[in-house]
Chains A and B, each alone.
Chain A
Amino acid sequence: MTYPIELTINGEFIKLDIPANWRLIDVLRRDLSMTGTHEGCGEGDCGACTVLVNGQAVSSCLMLAVEANGCEIQTIEGLADGDILHPIQEAFIEVGAIQCGFCTPGMIMTSKALLDKHADPSEEVIRRTLAGNLCRCTGYEKIVSAVKAVSSKLLNQTDSIAE
């Protein structure tokens, strides 16, 4: 048996018919070939599958696709504007916060949810927020630096708009 769902993914309205046991990550990766969202553990422990659901960071391996009916989903594919990368993506590259890249989409989506809410989080808050995103390569320092760099950049932008 399949279930009809309607949702918005990166601003695009989509209708699907899916079995109840498909998780949100299955729809993204298998049905829609959006393979930017990665699956590490499949059990909520690693954060590689993080997407935003109605603006909140969520593990897409712990959410059924049927539960996403009516929701607004943002994935890593939706961040860049054509060839222009999102400031968080830019910062990760500039600072060197990416090695193998497996954790990166999840790291960036969790950081985006944080920065959308708090323009200037403390290092403590950044580290606590990223606690559920595991990285086997970087040792985390550069990831935290990248998030700090982008928050000061975003702040400067809003300052100059205000001026």
Chain B
Amino acid sequence: MTPHTLTPAVARRGSSAQPRVALVRPKKPLRWITTAAVAAAVVGLHAVAIEGTDFKPELLVDGWQGMAAFIGDAFPPDLSWEKTLKPGLEATLVTLWIGLLGTTLSVPFALLLAALAAENTSPHRLVYQVARAILSFFRAVPDIVFALIFVTAVGLGPFAGVLALICHNTGVMGKLWAESMEEIDAGPQEALRTAGANRIQQVANATLPMVVPQFVGLLLYRFDVNVRSSLVLGLVGAGGIGLLINQSIKSFQFDSMLTHILIVLVLIIVVDQFSAWIRRRLAA
């Protein structure tokens, strides 16, 4: 652009008293009606939900003594090594292993399904739809349900928990990975396509290496979630610290229960710090 195109604009702006362009906001008459309708709908939904869940705060106020007695029984936590601490720590490790295997062993399945379920890497529209449907299914079925199904095949124990987590995590992580692939800059992939690379080569040499940081971030997040899920799976018989918590509640040993919960707290903090540390290193 040549300088002389600039001058008139600046001069005009400085000298004229009358604005050359009148400020008139475009009218959108339906805007406030829409806002009001959305607000009313949200309030209405909450009213129905409060009704549907028997949400009555007064019950909590009336019954606080029961809760206090329960918590009082749990203090002080039982720190005896043989009876509580040792089995607790051993079971915690099992919980950690369930979460770990449930995450890592789902990686190949999640990776394959994600590549087939992302618009920019899927070989065909039909494959895309099928992969999406499979992911939705594994995501929709809760890990507890998978655990109950696998228990009928392999019996109670950690193995059923691992299998359950693999299934559910494949669905969730595959979806998250597919989305992060769709958000990636398409340029490098297009560049390889024009260079004559086939679809698999494009994905392996442009799309995947571009999304590695996002993938690892999501993997760590899922590891974190899966360790906590494996606790819950323990409650339904998949072993680990969840099982011990369940047993100590059933046998009214609330002081042991508290110890186990404290161990879980430490585990969760350690896992959280570990993922944060890796993510920091990755970002650097």
Q: Tell me if chain B binds chain A.
A: no
Interface residues of B (CB under 8 A from A): none
